[in-house]
Chain A
C-alpha cells in the first residue's frame, strides 16, 4: 500500500509525495509499489523525470558553454593571433560574483526551510535569492556600461567580443533562472510537485552560479 499524503501547501498547490520516497516516486523500487503520480488528465509522470529532464537540459547548456570556452582558448592560443587583453575588468564584477554566491546560499536556506515545513521562511529566503539574482543582472549591465564608457565594445577586439559573448550568454541563462524562481513562488497547481519544483529550480540556479564563477575565473586568469 502506498501512502500518499498531502504535506504542505506551497503556492496554492498541494504537495504530494510517497512516504517512503524522497521525491514522490515511491520507495519500493522501480517495479514495486506505485511510482507514478496520478495527475490531471490521467497521465502518469514520475517526479524523478523532472530531475532527469533538468539534468539533461543542464548537459546541453554545459555543451553550449564548452563550445564557447574552447573557441576562446583556441582563438587566444592561435599563433600570430594579435590577441589584445582587455584592460582591467570592471571591479563591480567582484561584487556581482559575491551577490550571486549569496543568492545560491539563500536558495540553500530556502530549501532547508521547505523541508522542515516552514512555508513563511521558505518564501522569504526564496525571494531573497531571486532578488540577489536580479541584482546580479543589474550589476552585469553596469559592468557593460563601464566597459563601453572606456571605449571597449563588442567588436573592438577578440577579447572584448568574448567578454560580451560570455556575459550575455550567461546573463540570458540566468534570466531564465529568475523566471523559474518566480514561477515556483507563483505557479498554479500542476503535475510538478512543489518539492520537485524547488529541486529542479535550485539545480538550475546553482549550476548557473558555478558556471559564472568558472567564466569569471577564466576571464580573470586567462585574459
Chain B
C-alpha cells in the first residue's frame, strides 16, 4: 500500500467517524460531553450566569451606597447592614474574578477555538477537559451555596485576608461556615483550572496541524497558551495557600494567625503565624490572575483589529514577545499589592520598578494595535467596535496603574476608590469588552447564526459610554479620600459631600445594566431567529473559518487541514481577494483551500 493510498484510506475512515457526528444521546452529547466545543459553550453559559449574579450584587451595593437608609424588600431586616454589604462585595469580587474573568475568555472561547485554530480535532485530553468543567461547575454551586448557610456569605473580600478569614464566626457573620465554603469552592476551582491549563498547554504543543508552526499560530492561540502557563504556575500556589488557611480554620494550626490575636475582647488560641504570609501567597497568585483575565482579551483584540482593518497584524512577532514578557513580568510584581503592608522601602522600590516596566510590553501592544489600524480599510462591525473599546479602556485603565505602581502615591490611594476605578477598567471592563467582541465575532461559528448588528451597536454605545461614566468619576471619589469597602459614606462627615457623585454613579450603573438587556435579547433572539451564518462571514483567514458553522464533531469533518501561511494574510498584493486562508496552497494565490 503506497503512502497516498494509506492516507486516503485513513481520511475516509476519519470521515466516516466524523459523519457519525460523535456520541448520540442528549446526556453524552450536551451534558457530559468530551467535545471541546460543547465544553467551551458550557463554560460560556456558566460565566453568563455568574456575570448576571455579579451584576445584581453590584446593583444592590450601588443602591445602598447612593441611598444608605433605603428599605430593600429582599434584605433581611430591611436596611442593609455593613456586614451584609461586605458579603455582597466579597461575592461580587469572587464571582467576577474567578467565575467570569477566568472562565469566559479562557475556558469558554479558549476551549472552543484553540483546537480549531491550530487544526486539531479536539483537545489533547478530552475527558480531562470534561472533568475540568464539571469541577468548575461544582465549585460554582458550592460558592453560591455560601449565601444560604447560617451567617451567610463571607465578608473578607475576594482576597480573604487573614486573620479575618482565619478565625471563624467570631470575626463576623459569614466568617463561619460561609468562609469555609468559600475556601472549599476556591480549592476546587484551582484544581479545575490546573487540569484545564495542562490540557491547553499540551494541546498547543502537540496537537498542531502539519505546517502550523509556532509563529503561524493566531495571536489568540498565543494568548491562550501563555495564559495557560500563568494559570498552571499561579493556581497551584493559591491551592497551597487555601489548604493552609483551611487548616488554620478547622485544625487549629497557626500558619496565618499571629500570636496574641484578640477579637471581640477574646484572646484567640493561636501561636505566632503570619498574616503577611497569606498576602504574599495570595498575591503571588493574584497578580498573574490579572493577566489570566486580560491576556486572552489582548489576543482577541489583535485578531479582530487585523481582520476588520483588512491588514496583517502590525509587528506579529513583537506582539508574541510582548505577550510572553507580560506573562513573565506578571510573576515578579505581586508586591505592589502590598506597599502599605509595612514592607521594606527597598522591596517596594524593586516591585515598583518591575511594575512600571510592564508599561513597556503594554505600550508595544498598544502601538502595534494602532499600527494595525493605520491605513486599514476599517469595517466597523460590532465586534470591531468592542475591540476598539478594549484598546481605549486598556489605555485609560493602564495609565492609572502607573500612578499606583509608585509606593509614595499608592500610600495615599491604596484603600480608596481610585484603585477600584483602576482595576475595574483594566481588568473588569477591558476583559468584558474582549468577551463581548469575541461573542459578536464568533457567535456565527458557534451557533450557526448571525447576531443583529443593529442591537449590537446599541449595546456597544450603552456599554462604552456607561462604563466610562461609572468608572471615570470613581477616580475622583478616590482622590477625595473615598475609602473602598465603606458601606455608608454619609456616616463620615468629610465623605458625605461626595454623595451626589455617588448617586450619579449609581444612576449610570442602572443605565449601563439596562443596556445589557440589548445584548441578552440579541443573544437569545439570534440563537433562534438570526440569519443563517455562512462558513466565513467576516472573510477571515484562520482555520476556524474553513469549517462549517457550527463545525462538525471533529471540527473538520475528517478533512484535516495543512497550513501553508501565517495567520493574518490580508490585502496581499496580487491575491484575488483581500484575504488568503491559512491553508491555501502557496502556488495558487487566493485559490481557496488546499
**Which A residues are closer than 8 A to B by beta carbons?**
1-2, 30-31, 34, 38, 41-46, 48-50, 52-53, 56-57, 59-68, 71, 74-75, 78, 81-82, 154-155, 157-158, 161, 165, 169
The reply to whether A71 and B255 form a contact with Cβ atoms under 8 Å apart is: yes
The reply to whether A48 and B206 form a contact with Cβ atoms under 8 Å apart is: yes
**Cα distance, A30 to B214, chains bound together (Å):** 12
Q: B334 CB to closest chain A CB, in angstroms?
A: 12
**Cα distance, A65 to B194, chains bound together (Å):** 14
Cross-chain pairs A/B with CB under 8 angstroms, 20 sampled? A30-B208, A30-B210, A42-B14, A42-B16, A42-B18, A44-B121, A52-B124, A53-B128, A53-B198, A59-B198, A60-B197, A63-B232, A67-B284, A71-B244, A71-B277, A154-B247, A155-B253, A158-B255, A161-B247, A165-B253
Chain A: which residue is nearest B239 at the CB level?
A64
Chain B: which residue is nearest A42 at the CB level?
B17
Partner of B273, one of A63, A65, A75: A75
Task: Tell me the number of A-to-B contacts counted with CB atoms below 8 Å.
Answer: 136
**6 pairs of A and B residues whose beta carbons are closest in the complex:** A42-B17, A155-B252, A67-B240, A63-B236, A56-B198, A49-B206
How many chain B residues touch the partner (CB < 8 A)?
59
The reply to whether B237 and A64 form a contact with Cβ atoms under 8 Å apart is: yes
Q: B149 CB to closest chain A CB, in angstroms?
A: 25
The reply to whether B274 and A64 form a contact with Cβ atoms under 8 Å apart is: no
By a CB distance below 8 angstroms, the chain A residues around B281 are 67, 71
The reply to whether B194 and A60 form a contact with Cβ atoms under 8 Å apart is: yes
Chain B: which residue is nearest A53 at the CB level?
B202
**Cα distance, A43 to B124, chains bound together (Å):** 10
By a CB distance below 8 angstroms, the chain B residues around A30 are 208, 210
Majority secondary structure of chain A interface residues (helix, strand, loop or mixed): helix
Partner of B272, one of A53, A68, A71, A82: A82
Chain A CB within 8 A of B3 CB: yes
The reply to whether A78 and B274 form a contact with Cβ atoms under 8 Å apart is: yes
Chain A: which residue is nearest B201 at the CB level?
A56
**Cα distance, A61 to B195, chains bound together (Å):** 11
By a CB distance below 8 angstroms, the chain A residues around B210 are 30-31
Stretch at the interface among B5-13, B295-303, B338-346, B532-540: B5-13
The reply to whether A82 and B259 form a contact with Cβ atoms under 8 Å apart is: yes
Q: A30 CB to closest chain B CB, in angstroms?
A: 7
Chain A: which residue is nearest B271 at the CB level?
A157
**Cα distance, A52 to B205, chains bound together (Å):** 8
Chain A CB within 8 A of B254 CB: yes
**Cα distance, A157 to B208, chains bound together (Å):** 51
Partner of A45, one of B1, B124, B274: B124
**Cα distance, A48 to B202, chains bound together (Å):** 9
The reply to whether A155 and B254 form a contact with Cβ atoms under 8 Å apart is: yes
Given contacts A43-B121, A45-B124, contact A1 B232 (CB under 8 A): no
8 new A-B contacts at CB < 8 Å, known A30-B208, A38-B10, A52-B124: A38-B14, A53-B128, A60-B194, A67-B236, A67-B237, A161-B254, A165-B244, A165-B253
Q: A161 CB to closest chain B CB, in angstroms?
A: 4
Q: B190 CB to closest chain A CB, in angstroms?
A: 9
Q: A168 CB to closest chain B CB, in angstroms?
A: 9
The reply to whether A75 and B244 form a contact with Cβ atoms under 8 Å apart is: no
Chain B: which residue is nearest A66 at the CB level?
B237
Chain A CB within 8 A of B125 CB: yes
Q: B274 CB to closest chain A CB, in angstroms?
A: 6
By a CB distance below 8 angstroms, the chain B residues around A82 are 259, 271-272
Chain B: which residue is nearest A160 at the CB level?
B253
Chain A CB within 8 A of B587 CB: no
Partner of B13, one of A38, A50, A169: A38
